[in-house]
Chains A and B, each alone.
Chain A
Amino acid sequence: NAGVTQTPKFRVLKTGQSMTLLCAQDMNHEYMYWYRQDPGMGLRLIHYSVGEGTTAKGEVPDGYNVSRLKKQNFLLGLESAAPSQTSVYFCASSSGLAGGRRHGDNEQFFGPGTRLTVL
């Protein structure tokens, strides 16, 4: 199993350009998440999805859109990139089992990250 993969690993954009970050997981997980991490800070949730065809806003959703057309994929879009969106973006997935007490229940598996610079 590849786990959670992210494409691309690095990207440099100019202000106003658009792009899409792709997250894929092969664990048949229901839940998927997009986080951003700025230098010296913890991760902040941008958007998340509790199943195919559903999305919801997280803590910092402005300037981003997401789509979950297939269960295994979760796309993060920047329509008009701004320098404030320079960050490292992490995708994660989890099984979403409520109340689980077994190891791995509700555990989130993270991808390797995408380092985005907006000039």
Chain B
Amino acid sequence: DAKTTQPTSMDCAEGRAANLPCNHSTISGNEYVYWYRQIHSQGPQYIIHGLKNNETNEMASLIITEDRKSSTLILPHATLRDTAVYYCIVRVSYGNKLVFGAGTILRVKS
């Protein structure tokens, strides 16, 4: 599975959009980009995943560049409850194993 690079931490004002970047320059054609988050002391929670098209669900949007070497997770209106560690994971769909890096600590401030 391709490795990912994420900033260590980010701050965001409550009510504003939070844009979390992820670099995955060695991604292969059959690898998906997955995002999970982990709120303090809880188990990780699935957010969204995509292959090459942009994706949106009730939680977030995922923007993947045309060359697929990077992506951005967008939380459109961040709340204090969105404060968490966000993990960007790249893997094949059928592999089913997740390899977690250190992630990005997102702090939403009022």
A2 to chain B, nearest CB (A): 13
Kindly list chain B residues whose C-beta atoms are within 8 Å of the C-beta of A98. Answer: 93-94
In this complex, what residue of A is CB-closest to B51? A101
Please tell me which one of the listed residues B43, B57, B87, B97 contacts residue A42 in the complex, with CB atoms under 8 A apart.
Answer: B87
CA gap between A90 and B38 in the complex, in Å: 12
Write out the residue numbers on chain B whose beta carbons fall within 8 Å of the beta carbon of A88.
Answer: 41
Residue of B nearest to A94 (CB): B96
Whether the pair B43, A106 counts as a contact (CB closer than 8 A) is no
Contact B101 A112 (CB under 8 A): no
- Which of A12-20, A43-51, A62-70, A76-84 lines the interface with chain B? A43-51
Tally of chain B residues near chain A (CB < 8 A)? 21
**Interchain CB contact (< 8 A) of B96 among A96, A103, A113:** A96
Q: Min CB distance, B47 to chain A, in Å?
A: 10
A31: chain B residues within 8 A (beta carbon): 96
Which of A41, A59, A110 is B45 in contact with, Cβ under 8 Å?
Answer: A110
Q: Which of B28-51 contact A (CB under 8 A)?
A: 36, 41-46, 49, 51
Could you tell me if A42 and B93 are in contact, using CB atoms closer than 8 angstroms?
A: no
**B44 engages A110 (CB within 8 Å):** yes
Interchain CA distance A108-B100 in the complex, whole Å: 13
What 3 pairs between A and B have smallest CB-CB spacing? A110-B43, A42-B100, A98-B94
A interface residues, Cβ below 8 angstroms from B: 4, 31, 33, 35, 40-45, 48, 50, 58-59, 88, 90, 92, 94, 96, 98-101, 103-113
Q: Which residues of B contact A (CB under 8 A)?
A: 36, 41-46, 49, 51, 57, 87, 93-94, 96-103
